[in-house]
Amino acid sequence: MRINKYLAHAGVASRRKAEELIKAGDVTVNGDVMTDLAYQVKSGDTVEVKQTQIYKEEPVYYVLNKPRGVISSVSDEKDRKTVMDFFRHIPERIYPVGRLDWDTSGLILMTNDGEFANLMTHPRHEIEKVYIAKVEGQANKENLRPLTQGVKIDGRKTKPAIYQIIKQDISTKKSVVQLTIHEGRNHQVKKMFEAVGLPVQKLSRVQYGTLDLTGLQPGEFRRLSRKEVSQLVNAAKGI
């Protein structure tokens, strides 16, 4: 197996990030610094990254219902709670697929499969994601229509989204809106609502491709079946 793919399957990093580690001289095979990006790892080879031996793990995939106030990261320099705190007993070196903001709750994937993680997060793959947002202001067809056509955020226009008004509270001037998007840009949903004059107060991701949060309370997770993983991969590849 090619060295970058080996590292990806071991949960070290995506193939691209693995190549960066190799170029930086952080990867050794049998004690020698690896410089050949095309090297094929053989049975019996000892692979180390930053002097830590790497073992090819069996790939695992989880869905977590992330609570608000939790960082979507393997570690946090401020020692805040991260998604890893829910997986302390999991032996594999898993990590989150993409990110949810600290104050955003909901569905996030966890895996040790770098290739899968890269497939899920690559910009050209349009996996459907569904969010529920509590926003300031009265949501209606007029102010939400631009979302279905695409709005400009960070200098680029978003792809058309689908909305559904769940609730309107005239007395508090608040609304609850479901939004379905096919991208994964930084703070995208919040910026989209802000662009149409409806600042987000509370946000949760409730669906990712064919997955939802059925049966999962905040902080709970479950392992994905092979069928569910295949469905996500096929959706990313447009199959």
Q: Which residues have a catalytic role annotated? A: 101
Non-local CB neighbours of 158 within 8 Å, separated by 6+ positions: 147, 150, 151, 152, 181, 183, 185, 188, 192
* Token pair of 54 as six digits: 């790497």
Contact criterion met (CB below 8 Å) for 109 and 120: yes
d(CA 125, CA 236): 5
The packing angle between helices 15-23 and 114-121, to 10°, is 120
Count, residues in the chain: 239
DSSP classification of residue 46: -
Residue holding tokens 């947002």? 133
Among candidates 159, 107, 119, 149, which has minimal Cα distance to 239?
119
Contact criterion met (CB below 8 Å) for 212 and 206: yes
Non-local CB neighbours of 121 within 8 Å, separated by 6+ positions: 97, 98, 184
Non-local CB neighbours of 149 within 8 Å, separated by 6+ positions: 160
d(CA 236, CA 239): 8
Instruction: Give the H/E segment covering residue 63.
Output: strand 61-66
